[in-house]
Structure 1
Amino acid sequence: MSIVPIADQLNEQMNLAERFFELTFGKLNVADNTGQRIFSAFLAVSSFGNIVVMTYTAARVKQEIAKEGILPFPKFFAMNRDVSLARFLRWANCRPILPRLFGRMLKSRWFVPEGHSEETPVGALILHFGSCLVLILVTYRVEPTNTYRLLAKVYTYSVHAFFGVLLAGGILRLRLNRKEGWRKKTIGINPQLSVMSAIVYLLGSLFPVIVSWVEPSGELERFADTKIHWYLVPLLSWSAIAFGALWWLGFLVFAKRIEKRNGTIFMIQRDPAIARDPPINGSPIQVNETVYLGWVTKENITTMQASGGRQGESSRHDFVLQW
């Protein structure tokens, strides 16, 4: 902030990061665009890392949603599948021609299939790809810069701001509700500091959620983004949030109707398998998880609870998820 002039910081159309590199590295040569090229290189690396992280995170989140049974075809979207290099190596070793041509290479330690075996949430990745494809198709006629700004602002509003409010509210509820017994779980931590931090985070997240609905006017109008209508960001964000909430409520209504009509209740049970890594004195980790989803008759619920809660023949489907 000390490098970029105040006039540039107040300019809505100005890219502050690019301007920073132009002011620092552009002094090497007046006619040179070194600063802009360095900024583009950093932006490319940062964008690639963001895509990798968001793809992994979004796929895992969608997989956990599928485990709750509220998505169609939950088994497909929730299961992990082996599409790693180990699968190709096993296929190559079973072919008579490839071992003859690359026998020495396939027998090396690096090409041992067990060292490259890793399961991937393929169904969740396909769902994530589909949702990204929808965003691309609905904005393909919009200028790329405006599309990026709009989607970035919608993501910031719905994920960081809206869910930030819920997160801060949940932290305050845990701290201030005596029934939760949170003070006993956090002995040695200054409660005033944690409460004040949550309040600041709540107010900071709540500010864009509310102010985005106010149309810029007066002196603030010259700082507004004129290429995007002021109401689009909160409207699209709340539309996405409402769609998710209605989908969840619709599933609850559907499950209630099935319960009244057939006398069955939708049950979800998770059986995690825990092991230590390293085996003897390592930290406990989850190596796999068995998720049981099914419509269970009310008469069998008591039997299930007595037998440890495992679903039997009354389940419509069950599946194992390997991590």
Structure 2
Amino acid sequence: MSSTIQPSNRDANIAMSDLKRHNLEIQRAVTQSTFSPDENEKNNSVEAGELTFAEDTAGGLGRHLGVFSTTFLIIGRIIGSGIFSTPSSITKSTGSVGAAMFMWVIGFIISMAGLFVWLEFGCMIPRSGGEKVYLEASYRRPRHMTSILFAIQSVLLGFSATGCITFASNIVLAADTKVSEHTSRGIAGAAMVFVAFMHGLTPKLGVKVMNVVGVLKIGIVVFIVVTGWVVLGGGTRIKDPHASFRNAFEGSVRHSNPYATALYKVLSSFAGWSNAAYILNEVKNPVRTLKIAGPLAVTTCGLLYIFANISYYSAATPAEVSASGVTVASFFMMKVFGKTASRVLSVFVGISALGNVMTVTYAHARVNQEIAKEGVLPFSSFWASTWPMGAPTGGLFLHFVPSIIMITAIPFGDAYNFIIDVEGYPRAIVFFSVVVGLFLLRWKKPFAERPFRVFLPIAGFFLVGQSFLLVAPFLRPPGGKGDTSQPYWAYPLVGIGVMILGLVYYVILVHILPKMGNYSLKREKIVLADGTHVMKFVKSKEE
């Protein structure tokens, strides 16, 4: 006699659950099979420009920069003329020690936030070019517009004039003699020529020189910091070293425009935090190196900057700091040690400014080369070339020319502050666009490989900081006058004008000329004799 065993309700439920799960897996497999492996990879990959990674990294010097050199490439860019000169104009803009110090702290935090955004991009797309690459990856349409807009502002405003001017000013100050403005311009121009030839003809020696100067820069700032501690401890002839810190916020301005101007100058002094992103094609193990070198360099500089400002205020009143102009560090040494020490420090500050010119030129030449590789500039093959020594000589020349023009055409003094302001506004537009692009890519490419992921609230904080920098310069300051003889709204308008010029160039090149000439633009890839790959616009006649 046989018996049938009936399944329990529990067993039936388990079987039904397994069946549903099996059907769901089949549905997923069918859905995924509608995409080829190449399409799945494309959906999850992040592309920039039209050259492949292998093509973009071909040619040049290869990967020769380790953690040490990359760290000092960042430090060398950050510590330039800013910490030795801009505290005077920042104090003048904010009106008090407390407000000025607050701007330095905020600038440090914003710079760290920006660094983390750039780390995500740099680790995800480890290619030279920095913002140029990140904007191209974020904004794929309209084609070529992003590349052209960035190219125009980068070429026109990517100069090293301010560092050369500061170098010349400090050398003249150290000589303790009066010279004509033409002589000062000659010194500044000679500095630019020296740096360009060094990086063009002996690029690897140039890296070693930058490392040595970077160590010297840290030593200079550390000396100022330690001297400040001695002053605060009562070990010098300064009678009341704590006077500036009593009622530290007394006299602070109550309008946003001066704070925006001050923040521009602070961020200009921190500007090198993104420097490694421009030369990643030459960095060994770029992802690991970026993760170490970036935070180490920016944190070191940020702490030194804050302590250096405390040192300045320990020896001089806010009014004295405001009136010291671009020689605030030398003024500090004169107050503490006398005129001879001031002259000696001027030499070192001049060397520091020259070192800044070296690192800016080294990095920006490679940005210019990456721009040229996209073929959006006339004679792109020339600008992209690494002949004869493997250095981007075309990119160097493209950096050298506007630098020399600025040195010879812009008067010293008040023009120094205006140049910094003008440089800062387009940079804020670009940085704002990059961080918006990060949010877009998180949405469009959520599964893209990201060796480093920035905490989104940090990226949001950086976005807020850039938004403030874009809006505040148009708010009327007290008395309707900014920190230069130009109208307060002049520098943001000049910056916007540069971006509009890029848009006009894009419309003419991509739309108007092809329509007038009855042709269409096609893209062609060429390989130079040095192995560099370059994209090129080719005219195709319409029938």
- TM-score class, shorter: 0.5 to 0.7
Amino acid at match of 1:27: V
Q: Where in structure 1 do 4 or more consecutive aligned residues deviate above 6 Å?
A: none
Q: Percent of aligned positions with the same letter in both sequences?
A: 23
- What displacement does 1:2 show? 3.5
Q: Where does 1:1-323 land on structure 2 (aligned, <5 Å)?
A: 1-3=309-311, 4=313, 8=318, 12-15=322-325, 18=328, 22-23=331-332, 26-28=335-337, 32-33=338-339, 36-37=342-343, 39-82=345-388, 118-139=389-410, 142=411, 144-159=412-427, 161-175=428-442, 177=443, 179-182=444-447, 185-186=449-450, 194-217=455-478, 224-254=482-512, 256-257=514-515, 261-262=518-519, 264-269=520-525, 288-295=531-538
In structure 2, what is the equivalent of residue 110 of structure 1?
none
- The 1:296–1:65 alpha-carbon spacing in structure 2 relative to 1, beyond 3 Å, is same
CA distance in 2, matches of 1:16, 1:138: 19
Q: Which has the higher contact order (CA 8 A, sep 6+)?
A: 2
- What displacement does 1:256 show? 4.0
Given that residues 212 and 231 in structure 1 are in contact (C-alpha distance below 8 angstroms), is that contact kept between their aligned partners in structure 2?
A: yes
- What displacement does 1:45 show? 2.1
String of CA shifts for 1:9-66, please: whole Å, max 9, x gaps.
Answer: 89654459825x65577434xxx12553354234212211121122222222222222
CA distance in 1, matches of 2:340, 2:320: 24
- What displacement does 1:137 show? 4.4
- The 1:26–1:167 alpha-carbon spacing in structure 2 relative to 1, beyond 3 Å, is same
CA distance in 1, matches of 2:537, 2:361: 29
| RMSD, matched Cα | 3.6
Given that residues 373 and 384 in structure 2 are in contact (C-alpha distance below 8 angstroms), is that contact kept between their aligned partners in structure 1?
A: yes
Given that residues 384 and 534 in structure 2 are in contact (C-alpha distance below 8 angstroms), is that contact kept between their aligned partners in structure 1?
A: no
- The 1:7–1:214 alpha-carbon spacing in structure 2 relative to 1, beyond 3 Å, is farther
Given that residues 157 and 237 in structure 1 are in contact (C-alpha distance below 8 angstroms), is that contact kept between their aligned partners in structure 2?
A: yes
Query: With structure 1 as the length reference, what TM-score do the two structures score?
Result: 0.59
- What displacement does 1:210 show? 1.0
Query: With structure 2 as the length reference, what TM-score do the two structures score?
Result: 0.37
Amino acid at match of 2:525: Q
Gaps of 5+ in 1: 83-117, 273-286, 300-323
CA distance in 1, matches of 2:385, 2:452: 41
CA distance in 1, matches of 2:462, 2:320: 25
Amino acid at match of 2:532: E
- The 1:60–1:249 alpha-carbon spacing in structure 2 relative to 1, beyond 3 Å, is farther
Structure with the bigger percentage of strand: 1
- What displacement does 1:288 show? 3.8
- The 1:35–1:245 alpha-carbon spacing in structure 2 relative to 1, beyond 3 Å, is farther
Amino acid at match of 1:76: F
Given that residues 386 and 532 in structure 2 are in contact (C-alpha distance below 8 angstroms), is that contact kept between their aligned partners in structure 1?
A: no
CA distance in 1, matches of 2:537, 2:450: 38
- The 1:81–1:243 alpha-carbon spacing in structure 2 relative to 1, beyond 3 Å, is same
- The 1:187–1:46 alpha-carbon spacing in structure 2 relative to 1, beyond 3 Å, is closer
CA distance in 2, matches of 1:9, 1:167: 38
CA distance in 1, matches of 2:452, 2:502: 39
Secondary structure of 2:475's match? coil
Structure with the bigger percentage of helix: 2
Amino acid at match of 2:522: F
String of CA shifts for 1:165-187, please: whole Å, max 9, x gaps.
Answer: 11221122223x1x3125x6348
Amino acid at match of 1:227: S
Given that residues 331 and 342 in structure 2 are in contact (C-alpha distance below 8 angstroms), is that contact kept between their aligned partners in structure 1?
A: yes
Tell me the number of residue pairs that the alignment of Structure 1 and Structure 2 aligns. 231
CA distance in 2, matches of 1:212, 1:16: 22
- The 1:203–1:12 alpha-carbon spacing in structure 2 relative to 1, beyond 3 Å, is farther
Amino acid at match of 2:401: G
